[in-house]
Amino acid sequence: MARYIFVTGGVVSSLGKGLSSASLASLLQLRGFKVRVRKLDPYLNVDPGTMNPFQHGEVFVTDDGAETDLDIGHYERFTGISATQSDNITTGGIYSDIIKKERKGDYLGGTVQVVPHVTDRIKKFISHNVKNEDFIICEIGGTVGDIESLPFLEAIRQFSNDKGKKNSLFIHLTLVPYLKASGELKTKPTQHSVKELRSLGIQPDIIICRSEKKIPIGERKKISLFCNVPIDNVIETVDVRTIYEAPISFHKEKLDERVLSYFGFKNKKLPNLTKWKNITSKVLSSRKDVNIGIIGKYVNLKDAYKSLDEALTHGGISNNLKVNLKRVDSENLRVDDVKSLLKNVSGVLIPGGFGKRGSEGKIAAIKYARLNNIPFFGICFGMQMAVIEAARNLLNIKDASTSEFGNNCTPVVGLLEEWQKGKKTIKGTNKDLGGTMRLGLYDAILRNNSLISKIYSAKKIKERHRHRYEVNVKYKNEFEKKGLIFSAMSPDGTLPEIIELKNHPWFIGVQFHPEFKSRPFTPHPLFSSFIKAAGKRKGMN
């Protein structure tokens, strides 16, 4: 029977609830338990798919095509378990389901209310599709005290009551700030946050205190006393040097041990932390480094390319290289500045993106990488821009572009139905923007003897997609005559999935997002190979 662990946050946001939940999940896994981690987001968007990355960071895509919160990416990377549609829900998703039912008359004339209808729907989400897992960890987005969080907190309170206290545990993560002027760690914000939680009927069982300094016993006692939590269940978390150290640090603080004691487990196998220790020391050891230029629109917000940054780190780990990311804002990238900006980089990466702004800077950077033999990796939009660059400069189609930017061009990238009359789009067809992309896992068939088939050592791959536009297959032969090979296609041969340039050390564009499938202990082959090529360029391997 599954036990449920609810993780809430207080005082301020961005304390690392996602990482704490993922670390706990990994520790429980290493102790031999089956876990699943879920995220409940209180905002009103139906999913984060339509949100600007500036607002909410990266949109993480699952195998089954859900556009989810970036914390789902942490869970996957830490547990190695692929998430599904059913692991992330938002207020918007819940209300749209309820309203659909209400319009159909499913409530039989009853008044539809937050309690019980919304809370019931949340409770159903928490426990649905649970198979043989021992623990379901549910992270509640936002901070206690937010208006939007209320139905979620009420639902988990009821849930714990329904299942019994023995089967559910509340963890509350708070901030214990350090006041330089008085040289003290302050517990009052934690006390207030717990008071707020208790006023909603939730008594935390474990409090995780995020702090920049170690929390002395006196302060722990205070938190224990005022928050009504046993002192052993006041767990501190100080900043770690790399995220891979988080599970080790939580174990030292006995988080996993306290959780298991709470649930009454006697025979507690210790977790084998070797893999986390090895990866931490690898990341922290002084290694030779390699500079990778990332040219994108959202480079000023670190979380906007979370999985990508992680995947590049994984590629570095597998080559024993430290990857330095040089982020270049494509919107301010003047074509004339490309050379000086990319002077010291050994690899150029253009990530996924949307819209015309900044695209000419990206195209100029691709041209520079192509002509100067700098390893180039184009992901989704990055591949589309590489095709446009090649069309303009190798095929001499001066107005080559994508119909995403308007119809005033030769669309070497566009919507499938633009060049295949009568062909139905494989994407959603309604007029809404949400959920209208090619989303989730799709197969691609790799061409024999291509660079890509060597990298994957496979003939067929499955990768996660998130895009509306496709490279126009009509130009395939012309491109191939000029050395730009379409080295992977969709199984029906209509959609180019990967391009690569002959006579270049490493020039690859992919229509999908390999970064979503890269994991610290199984780095994605494309990222390992790209970093290896960048290292070679620097003359390091």
Residues that bind ligand GLN (CB under 6 A): 352-354, 380-381, 404, 466-469
Residue 496 CA to residue 484 CA, distance in Å, equals 12
Token digits of residue 339: 């050379």
Q: What element of type H or E holds 291?
A: strand 289-296
The smaller minimum CB distance to ligand GLN, of residues 370 and 468, is found at 468
In 3-state terms, what secondary structure has residue 348? Answer: strand
Cβ closest to ligand GLN, residue 467 vs residue 517:
467
138, 209, 227, 380: which is the annotated catalytic residue?
Answer: 380
**Which residues contact residue 373 at a Cβ distance below 8 angstroms, ignoring those fewer than 6 apart?**
504, 505, 537
Nearer to ligand GLN, 227 or 510 (CB): 510
Which residues lie closer than 8 Å to 393 by C-beta, 6 or more apart?
A: 367
> Tokens for 376?
């180039």
In terms of CB distance, is 251 or 466 closer to ligand GLN?
466
DSSP per-residue letters across 37-79: EEEEE-SSSSSGGGS-HHHH-PPEE-TT--EE-HHHHHHHHHH
Q: How far is the CB of 33 from ligand GLN (least distance, A)?
A: 36
- Shortest spacing between CB 531 and ligand GLN, in angstroms: 21
Does the annotation count 497 as an active-site position?
A: no
Q: Nearest approach, Cβ of 366 to ligand GLN (angstroms)?
A: 14
Active site residue 380: yes
Q: How far apart are CA 423 and CA 416, in angstroms?
A: 8
Residue of 251, 504, 513, 524 marked catalytic: 513
Complete DSSP assignment for 455-513 = HHT-SEEEEEEEES-EE-GGGHHHHHHTTEEEEEE-TTS-SEEEEEETTSSSEEEESS-
Written as one letter, the residue type at 201 is G
Dist. CA 222–CA 219, nearest whole Å? 5
- Tell me the residue ranges of DSSP E strands in 297-392: 322-329, 347-350, 376-379
Decide whether 177 or 353 has the Cβ nearer to ligand GLN: 353
**Please, which residues have CB within 8 angstroms of residue 55's CB and are 6 or more apart in sequence?**
none
Nearest to 142 by CA among 239, 10, 25: 10
Rg of the chain over all Cα atoms, to the nearest angstrom = 25
Nearer to ligand GLN, 173 or 380 (CB): 380
From residue 522, alpha-carbon distances to 76, 519, 527 in Å are 12, 5, 11
Residue 207 vs 510, nearer CB to ligand GLN: 510
- What residue is closest to ligand GLN based on CB? 352
| Closer of 380 and 391 to ligand GLN (Cβ) | 380
Comparing CA positions, the residue from 39, 51, 34, 52 lying closest to residue 7 is: 39
Tokens of 497: 């999935």
Q: Which of 314, 497, 515, 524 is labelled catalytic?
A: 515
**In whole angstroms, how close is the CB of 325 to ligand GLN at the nearest point?**
18
Q: Quote the DSSP letter at residue 447.
A: P
Active site annotation includes 515 = yes
Kind plus residue range of the DSSP H or E element containing 23: helix 17-30
Nearer to ligand GLN, 439 or 531 (CB): 439
Under a CB-based contact definition with an 8 Å cutoff, are residues 246 and 240 in contact?
Answer: yes
Residues 6+ apart with CB under 8 A from 343: none
| Contacts with 402 (C-beta within 8 Å, 6 or more apart), sequence order | 384, 388, 409, 411, 412, 413, 414, 469
Task: Tell me the closest approach of the beta carbon of residue 373 to ligand GLN, in angstroms.
Answer: 25
The residues annotated with a catalytic role in the active site are: 380, 513, 515
